[in-house]
Structure 1
Amino acid sequence: MLSSAPAATAAPSPSPTPTPTGTAPGSPAPAPAATRADQRLVTVTRSGGFAGKQRSLLVKGDGSWTRLDGRARTVGEGRLSGAGLGRLRTALRDAGFATLPRTLLGGRPVFDGCTWAFVHDGHEVVADSAGIPVRLRAVLDALPSFATAQEPVRRHR
């Protein structure tokens, strides 16, 4: 037998609604978590350019890195030196990912330019060649090359 009484609704919660990062509005952002050696420190994907290629660099907390092609096949592996890993960690910290807009576009198209996608500490930022700020260029400069041994090495600029 069906009841004709209206369904009871729950009273609204008096606490603020958490944001996607898990902090309440107005609360300070949490400090970046320490990255274990086997956890991903940063992933950067470059796409476009004159040849229209896509490459990704995945760097773990211990400095080991993997370079992937556009089909997610491994095309290079290595390990950053201790000093190199320190430079990368400093560049990542100084970049302030939590404060960057998710999309950074330069305004005018660069026809042979690249698009960069950075993922670090739960934040993703996408920038094109014309819109990439200096603090993200420092991250690029601290990474291994996106080129394989069979390709010419070109800087990220």
Structure 2
Amino acid sequence: MPVSPGPSSALERLVTVTRSGGYAGKAATVAVKGDGSWTRLDGRLRPAGTGKLPADREARLRAALGRADLARLPRFPTGGPKVFDGFVYTFVQGGYEVTVAQESLTPALLAVLAELPPFEADPQR
């Protein structure tokens, strides 16, 4: 007997964003689950931090993802002047993947980035 899908699980992935490039050519990934918990991975995909978004920030992230509407974006959007040594971001959500150079980030994708935990650990901690 087939199992019908239930409501979205808190453990399901809400969004994964990988940032690569930049002057040093580093990569880092932030994965946020449906309950707001997140994991940061370094360029070798080793855990480099964890945490949980406050409820209001999680709500803002969900709203930003809705406005970004990855399903309607081209897989590789282009535009804007070339930024040498700039970052490239790959957003993965709900079966959709979009890879964007920093000069081509839309305001909606910038809003998603603003609500994510940092890609690098705070050296002050």
Q: Structure 2-normalised TM-score?
A: 0.89
Moved more, 140-149 or 106-115: 106-115
Structure-1 residue corresponding to 2:111: 138
**Greater relative contact order: 1 or 2 (C-alpha under 8 angstroms, separation 6 or more)?**
2
- Shift in Å, 1:34: 5.8
Runs of 4+ in 1 over 6 A off after TM superposition: none
Residue identity opposite 2:34 in structure 1: G
**In the comparison of the two structures, how many residue pairs are matched?**
119
Structure-2 residue corresponding to 1:95: 68
Aligned residues of 1:116 and 1:127 also touching (Cα < 8 A): yes
Structure-2 residue corresponding to 1:105: 78
Residue identity opposite 2:20 in structure 1: S
CA distance in 2, matches of 1:129, 1:108: 10
Q: CA RMSD in A?
A: 1.6
SS in 2 for 1:104: coil
**Does residue 121 of structure 1 match 2:56?**
no
CA offsets 1:83-135 (integer angstroms, 9 cap, x no match): 01100000011111111111012354311210000001111001001111111
CA distance in 2, matches of 1:136, 1:143: 11
Where in structure 2 are the equivalents of 1:54-73 lying within 5 Å? Answer: 54-73=27-46
Where in structure 2 are the equivalents of 1:30-49 lying within 5 Å? Answer: 35-49=8-22
Which structure features the higher share of helix residues? Answer: 2
CA offsets 1:57-108 (integer angstroms, 9 cap, x no match): 0000000000000000111100000001100000011111111111012354
**Cα 1:105–1:34 shift into 2, 3 Å:** farther
Which structure features the higher share of strand residues? Answer: 2
Residue identity over aligned pairs, in percent, reads 50
SS in 2 for 1:130: helix
The structure with the largest alpha-carbon Rg is 1
